[in-house]
Amino acid sequence: MLGSSFVEPADEDFLRTFYQNLADRPLEPQNPWYVPIYSGPASSNADPVQRLARGMRWTPLESAQLFSGFRGTGKSTELRRLRLLLEQQGFKVVLCDMKNYLNLSTPIDISDFLISIAGALSDALAEDEELLGEDVAERGYWVRAVDFMKRTQVNLGNLQLAAQIEDASESLKIGLRQDPTFKQILQEHMKGHLGGLADDVRMFMAECVKAVRRKHGDHRNLVVLFDSIEQIRGSSVNDAEVFSSVETLFVGHSDKLKFQGMHAVYTVPPWLKIRSPGVSKLFDSSFLLPCVKVRQQDGKRFEAGLDVLRTIVTKRGDWQQLFAGQEDFDHVLLQTGGYLRDLFRALQNMLMSAADRGSMPIDREAIELELSELRNDYLPISIADARWLRKVARSHEAELPEHGELPELSRYFDTHLLLCYRNGSEWYDLHPLIREAVDRVVKREQGKKADS
Partner 1 sequence: MSQEPTFLPSLETERAATRLERHLEWHKGFWLAYVFTISPPQAHILQERVGAKLRGQGRKQRVLRPQTPQALEAVLSDVLGAPRADCVWVESVRGPGSSGPENATWCDAWTSLVLRANERRELLRDGLGGLVLVAEPSLKGAIRDAGPDLWSVRQFVFELPPSERVQRGSDALRETIIRADGRSTAPFVDRELLDTDMRLVSDAVVEQDPITRAKIEEKLAMRLASAGRHRDALDALSGLVEFYRALAEEHPDEYLPDLARTRGLRGHALAELDEHQEALRAAQEALDAYRELVEGRPDEFLPDFARSLDVLGARLSNLGRHEDALRATQEAVDAYRKLNERWPKALFLHEVARALDNLGIRLSKLGKREEALRVTQEALEAYRGLAEQRPDAFLPDLAIALNNLGLRLSDLGRPEEALQAAQEAVDTVRGLAEQRPEVFLPNLAMTMGALGSVHATAERPADALDAIAEGLRLILPLAAHPSHPLGTLAINLARDLRQVARAAKLSVPEDLVSLLDQLLGDQPLGT
The answer to whether 356 contacts partner 1 (rule: CB under 8 A) is yes
Backbone angles phi, psi at 133, to 5 degrees: 75, 15
**Calpha distance 210→50 (Å, rounded):** 26
Out of 39, 105, 152, 423, which residue is the one contacting partner 1 (CB under 8 A)? 105
- The verdict on 20 binding partner 1 (CB under 8 A) reads yes
Q: Does 352 bind partner 1 (CB under 8 A)?
A: yes
Cα(173)–Cα(108) distance, rounded to whole angstroms? 15
Q: Which stretch binds partner 1 (CB under 8 A): 181-189, 233-241, 259-267, 386-394?
A: 233-241
**The dihedral sign for the CA sequence 114, 116, 117, 122:** positive
How far is residue 32's CA from residue 100's CA, in Å, rounded to a whole number?
A: 30
Q: Is position 348 an interface residue for partner 1 (rule: CB under 8 A)?
A: yes
Which residues neighbour 1 within 8 Å (Cβ) at sequence distance 6 or greater? 320, 321, 323, 324, 325, 360, 361
Residues from 296 through 315 that contact partner 1 (CB under 8 A): none
Q: Which of 87, 377, 397, 436 is close enough to bind partner 1 by CB under 8 A?
A: 377
Q: Is 215 in the site for partner 1 (CB under 8 A)?
A: no
CB of 140 to partner 1, least distance (A): 23
Q: Is 318 in the site for partner 1 (CB under 8 A)?
A: no
238 forms part of the interface with partner 1 (CB under 8 A): no
Residue type, 130: E
Choose between 242 and 288: whose C-beta lies nearer to partner 1. 242
Residues 140-169 that bind partner 1 (CB under 8 A): none
DSSP SS3 for 333: helix
Choices 39-47, 78-86, 204-212, 227-235; region in contact with partner 1 by CB under 8 A:
227-235
Per rule CB under 8 A, is residue 19 in the interface with partner 1? yes
CB 176 within 8 A of CB 102: yes
Residues 308/42, Cβ–Cβ less than 8 Å: yes
Cα angle 47, 247, 253 (rounded to 5 degrees) comes to 95
Identify the residue among 193, 215, 341, 422 touching partner 1 (CB under 8 A).
Answer: 341
- Residue 334 as a binder of partner 1 (CB under 8 A): the answer is no
Does position 213 interact with partner 1 (CB under 8 A)? The reply is: no
- Binding partner 1 by CB under 8 A: which of 213, 258, 357, 422? 357
Pick one of 1, 4, 5, 16: the residue that binds partner 1 (CB under 8 A): 16
Which position among 81, 256, 345, 390 is part of the footprint of partner 1 (CB under 8 A)?
345
Q: Rounded distance, CA 33 to CA 392, Å?
A: 34
- Give the pairing of strands 5-6 and 359-360: antiparallel
CB 451 to partner 1: min, Å: 16
Work out the number of other CB atoms within 10 angstroms of the CB of residue 236: 6
Q: Work out which of 27, 84, 104, 137 binds partner 1, going by CB under 8 A.
A: 104
Q: At 169, which helix (H) or strand (E)?
A: helix 165-178
* Closer of 71 and 396 to partner 1 (Cβ): 71
Strand ordering across the sheet containing 285-289: 92-97, 222-227, 262-267, 63-69, 285-289
* In the complex, minimum distance from the CB of residue 155 to partner 1, in angstroms, rounded to a whole number: 29
Cα separation, 44 vs 293, in Å, equals 10
Instruction: Give the residue, chosen from 25, 219, 300, 449, that forms a contact with partner 1 under the rule CB under 8 A.
Output: 25
6 binds partner 1 (CB under 8 A): yes
What mask, x for binding partner 1 by CB under 8 A, covers residues 408 to 427? ---x--xxx-----------
Count of residues that interact with partner 1, criterion CB under 8 A: 36
Mapping DSSP onto H, E and C, the string for 237-288 reads CCHHHHHHHHHHHHHHCHHHHCCCCEEEEEECCCHHHHHCCCHHHHCCEEEE
Nearer to partner 1, 264 or 340 (CB): 340
Give the phi and the psi of residue 344 in degrees, each rounded to 5: -65, -40
Kindly list the residues in this chain that would bind partner 1 in the complex (CB under 8 A): 6, 15-16, 19-20, 23-25, 71-72, 97, 99, 104-105, 231, 233, 235-236, 341, 345, 348-349, 352, 355-359, 373, 376-377, 380, 411, 414-416
